[in-house]
Structure 1
Amino acid sequence: MKVKRFFAPDMRQAMARVREEVGPDAVIVSNRRVAGGVEVVAAHEHEYEAAQVEFKRDRARKKRRDEQIRLLTGKGGQPSPSPLIAEKEKAKARIAAAQREDEVPPAVTGNRNQQIEADDDLESILASLKERQRARPAEPEMPVAMVRPEPAFDVSPISPVAPPVGGDSALQVMQQEIHQLRAMLEKQAQIPSSSESLLSPLERKLNALGLSTRLQKHLMTGVELGMAADKAWQNALARLAESVPVMGEEFTERGGMIAFVGPTGVGKTTTIGKLAARYVLKYGSSSVALVTTDTYRIAAHEQLKTFGRILDVPVRVVDDVNSLEQVLQSLRNKRLVLIDTAGLSANDPHSQQQLEMLESVTLRMKKLLVVSCSSQRQVIEKGYEAYKGLGLNGCVLSKMDESGSLGEALSFAIEKSLPVAYAADGQRIPDDIGVGNKRDLVSRAVLTAQESQSENALGDRSRVPPLFNAG
């Protein structure tokens, strides 16, 4: 179905583009005023009804997304408690009910279970010893002076038993079992205290977020021994939010020339399209230009040219005739120039050539590394190592909606001290992107972990511990 969305400074220009792109049989599905001009959605006449249905469906999806954001952040209308707080209150109620049924404190339940298991093992071994004693054949009577004392089974403390003289097999078996008793008691003595076991649920939660071991240890240092589980969790999340580096402002507002670098498939071109559309809606198309250096892949620059046609902004291609330096010099009158680079691996023969081209630019150019949240930490690290020599100003976290864990990307940004400029969570242009925010990123990481846990449970919550229900 040929349905298109047009942005223009006024309705006259929008209608002209509708006729040019869709044709004389175009029908207007919707139109509205937006920052910087108007937005018009058009389709062919014979597809009008289908376009209306699709438009209403998109609008309903956006409404649901806005409602989810409102519920999460408490913005718009009456403040609403966040899902995390609601889940915490439910967990408190369940814990209180469990404590009324069993007076054993939650912090020592694990110790009690291990104690019960140890007692059961002890009873089993002692019963085995008695059974062996009864099964032994009766020995002939000996003089009183030669009667051997019956072994005593005192479990505390047990001293080493010397090897038997004469090869009494029954006594050897008893000695082995006594050694097993000693090992079991020593293991029981190593059971962690309640203050140590309190950290175990917190460690599991942090690990479920996908955070690196190094970052987890840093967050755990702020947790005091004996701190309540829910308070420890909130404390760790607060420390995590404070650790995330962000720019905290619209990076494109500063203008200038910005190059987006990163491996193939991380979403560089789509990110540029979103940011260009946001800028055009606010300031118009006259001060923006797009540049692509990707001439290695077939039709690699076609997507960017499509964005340029839709936004009515110029698109320049760097090739053998026009170097990057020459192209950027010709665009010095533009307030904002967004540069899409080729996503090449370290093994690609053109990789070094691409890096040298970016380094050779004499004009001031800022660089943002685009990091896919769906990538493994090892892949993210390789991309960083390939481009860190350029002098990176920050990063963009992309494909948050496709990731089952945001901890790897957050750990990377924190440990490399690379400020998050933008976070992208979908394909819609220009909606699915926002300025990096500390608390929003941490909240999204927790919600993503919750969703992954629910999916892994496959409806059977008894198999997966509800890690995030207590805070």
Structure 2
Amino acid sequence: MKVKRIFAPDMRQAMRRVREEIGADAVIISNHRVAGGVEVVAAREEDYEQAQAEMLRSKSRAVREEKAAVPRAQSRRSDPDLAEELKRVERKISEARRAVEQPIPVLDHTQNKQIDDEDDEELRFILSSLKTQDDARSRVVSKDSFASDDWSDAPPPAARNVRQSPPEDDLIRVMQQEIHQLRSMMQEQIVRVQEPPVRSKPAQYQPPTMVIRETEARLQQMGLSARLVQQLVSSIESDLSEEDAWRNALGRFADAIPVVGEEFIERGGMVAFVGATGVGKTTTIGKLAARYVLQHGSSSLALVTTDCFRIAAHEQLKTFGRILDVPVRVVDENHSLEEVLLSLRGKRLVLIDTAGMNTRDLMGKTQMEMFSSVSMRIKKLLVFSCSSQRQLLRSTYEIYKELNLNACVLTKMDESGSVGEALSLVVEKQLPIAYVTDGQKIPDDLIVAQRRDLVSRAVVVSQRQSSDDESDPVFRAG
């Protein structure tokens, strides 16, 4: 029989040595504290069962011969091993009860847990060992009881009564109950250890794989912000191929882009286009007006301009009005925006052109106050130029966000070397995209924004820019 007596400074190291020297199927026969650490006696499961069976059969025969005429109390004293085992079990139960009743402190996540995963493993190992001992005892007792019913011995009635309910069987039942109680308490302790803390443990940092780094590089080449890139690659599985990871990131990117998804002007109402100077507000209004006239006629459409600060600033809009046979109204010192809009209440759609101003300028503040003073409901569309730099896009949004923007329009996509800056901003601010323009043709170069079309355009623009850079002699020389 392969029995090992192992000494170690603590139970964790003792359990590790048991597994190393005996194996994963080791059974703990006993364990207790000694000077300088703990002592563990262990054996292989099959050896343990064989030894237990032999021991119980020997004790059963001795008890049958001796206990026929000896009082039960005296027979119990004659079996010191079982009594000592019961005492050890009782001590374990007391220790486990104190451990269960003791509160488990919630430590800071920068420190190690009080009982880590390896401790849980040791608890489960002890619990499994106790269960194995319990099952082994039950099997041995059952076999021994069956074997002991040998009627050829013809024992006397007193001895037969002792065999039907021997004292050691009572002790074994008590020990089994105690072991079951100990097992339940240890299971409760394991559950308490495994309960999640009040604050979630930060995820362990995993260095990015080559596939993740390559995907990040391609997303950054599209002009996406660092925050958005990290969000897109955060859930990519490390075992994906490069192309699968790329498609996964683009799919997540498409899902993150907010769009209106339908013809915005079909809703009717009064729609104002705001944004910086030169982003294409007036041209966008001309495209939308032409599209509307082609579908519904010119009788229910009107155009309004509030740009009376620059000389001949409203001439382009009046030209559109003459071509489309649509009335054009100008807001100036004699006609307020409120008055002009009241005069156009009968129109189904009113498109309002505005001046590109900075709110820090006096004229810019005047225009912002003009919109806030109107009693009629006006929808506001912020016009972004995709050719603008990231900082200009963000400052434009910060200027006009006080108007409670409804959506935005991305213009000059055909002139941009990167669409990612504008798309990163709308994803971050969750400002829906209504339209995209990519040329000067009226009304052709204007489409309703769609998620996957926007992603495709961003990829194409990025690839085209990369190809242009590689063909540049300066780029090749560098």
- With structure 1 as the length reference, what TM-score do the two structures score? 0.56
Give the SS at the match of 1:260.
strand
C-alpha deviation, 1:382, in angstroms: 1.0
Match of residue 349 from structure 1: 362
1:306 partner letter: T
Q: Say whether residues 1:403 and 2:416 are aligned partners.
A: yes
Task: Return the match for 1:288 from 301, 310, 315.
Answer: 301
Render the CA deviation track for 1:388-407: whole Å, top value 9, x for unaligned. Answer: 11110010001101100000
Task: Return the match for 2:349 from 336, 343, 361.
Answer: 336
Match of residue 266 from structure 1: 279
1:195/1:226 contact within 8 Å kept: no
Match of residue 92 from structure 1: none
1:341 and 1:324 mapped to 2: Cα distance? 11
2:246 and 2:207 mapped to 1: Cα distance? 17
Give the SS at the match of 2:209.
helix
5 Å-filtered alignment, 1:170-319, equals: 196-319=209-332
2:472 and 2:393 mapped to 1: Cα distance? 32
1:245 and 1:424 mapped to 2: Cα distance? 17
Give the SS at the match of 2:360.
coil
The alpha-carbon distance between structure 1 residues 204 and 320, as it changes in their structure 2 partners (threshold 3 A), is: same
Match of residue 390 from structure 1: 403
Task: Return the match for 2:337 from 315, 318, 324.
Answer: 324
1:298 and 1:195 mapped to 2: Cα distance? 57
State percent identity of aligned pairs.
61
**Over 4 Å off, 4+ runs:** 192-195, 459-464
C-alpha deviation, 1:200, in angstroms: 1.5
C-alpha deviation, 1:194, in angstroms: 9.6
C-alpha deviation, 1:348, in angstroms: 2.3
1:363 and 1:195 mapped to 2: Cα distance? 54
Render the CA deviation track for 1:386-434: whole Å, top value 9, x for unaligned. Answer: 1111110010001101100000000011000000000001111000000
2:350 and 2:400 mapped to 1: Cα distance? 20
The alpha-carbon distance between structure 1 residues 461 and 369, as it changes in their structure 2 partners (threshold 3 A), is: same
Match of residue 358 from structure 1: 371
Q: Which consecutive unaligned segments of at least 5 residues does structure 1 have? A: 1-191, 465-471
1:212/1:411 contact within 8 Å kept: yes
Higher gyration radius (CA) = 2
Render the CA deviation track for 1:42-93: whole Å, top value 9, x for unaligned. Answer: xxxxxxxxxxxxxxxxxxxxxxxxxxxxxxxxxxxxxxxxxxxxxxxxxxxx
2:382/2:409 contact within 8 Å kept: yes
- Measured on the aligned residues, the alpha-carbon RMSD in Å equals 1.9
Task: Return the match for 1:380 from 387, 393, 397.
Answer: 393
5 Å-filtered alignment, 1:28-47, equals: none
1:277 and 1:436 mapped to 2: Cα distance? 18
Render the CA deviation track for 1:9-56: whole Å, top value 9, x for unaligned. Answer: xxxxxxxxxxxxxxxxxxxxxxxxxxxxxxxxxxxxxxxxxxxxxxxx
The alpha-carbon distance between structure 1 residues 462 and 225, as it changes in their structure 2 partners (threshold 3 A), is: farther
Match of residue 467 from structure 2: 454
Give the SS at the match of 1:279.
helix
Greater relative contact order (CA < 8 Å, ≥ 6 in sequence): 1
C-alpha deviation, 1:460, in angstroms: 7.8
2:208 and 2:449 mapped to 1: Cα distance? 36
The alpha-carbon distance between structure 1 residues 227 and 195, as it changes in their structure 2 partners (threshold 3 A), is: farther
The alpha-carbon distance between structure 1 residues 381 and 461, as it changes in their structure 2 partners (threshold 3 A), is: closer
2:287/2:446 contact within 8 Å kept: yes
C-alpha deviation, 1:330, in angstroms: 0.2
C-alpha deviation, 1:463, in angstroms: 5.4
1:300 partner letter: A
2:211/2:245 contact within 8 Å kept: no
Match of residue 79 from structure 2: none
- With structure 2 as the length reference, what TM-score do the two structures score? 0.56
5 Å-filtered alignment, 1:163-174, equals: none
Give the SS at the match of 1:369.
strand
Task: Please identify, of 340-349 and 249-258, the stretch whose mean Cα deviation from structure 2 is larger.
Answer: 340-349
Q: Which consecutive unaligned segments of at least 5 residues does structure 2 have? A: 1-204
1:462 and 1:340 mapped to 2: Cα distance? 42
Render the CA deviation track for 1:187-227: whole Å, top value 9, x for unaligned. Answer: xxxxx999622212111100000000110000011211121
5 Å-filtered alignment, 1:13-24, equals: none
1:459 and 1:369 mapped to 2: Cα distance? 35
2:433 and 2:207 mapped to 1: Cα distance? 39
The alpha-carbon distance between structure 1 residues 463 and 436, as it changes in their structure 2 partners (threshold 3 A), is: same
1:445 and 1:461 mapped to 2: Cα distance? 25
5 Å-filtered alignment, 1:36-185, equals: none
The alpha-carbon distance between structure 1 residues 195 and 461, as it changes in their structure 2 partners (threshold 3 A), is: farther
Give the SS at the match of 1:389.
helix
C-alpha deviation, 1:346, in angstroms: 3.3
Match of residue 416 from structure 1: 429
1:412 and 1:233 mapped to 2: Cα distance? 21
Give the SS at the match of 2:362.
coil
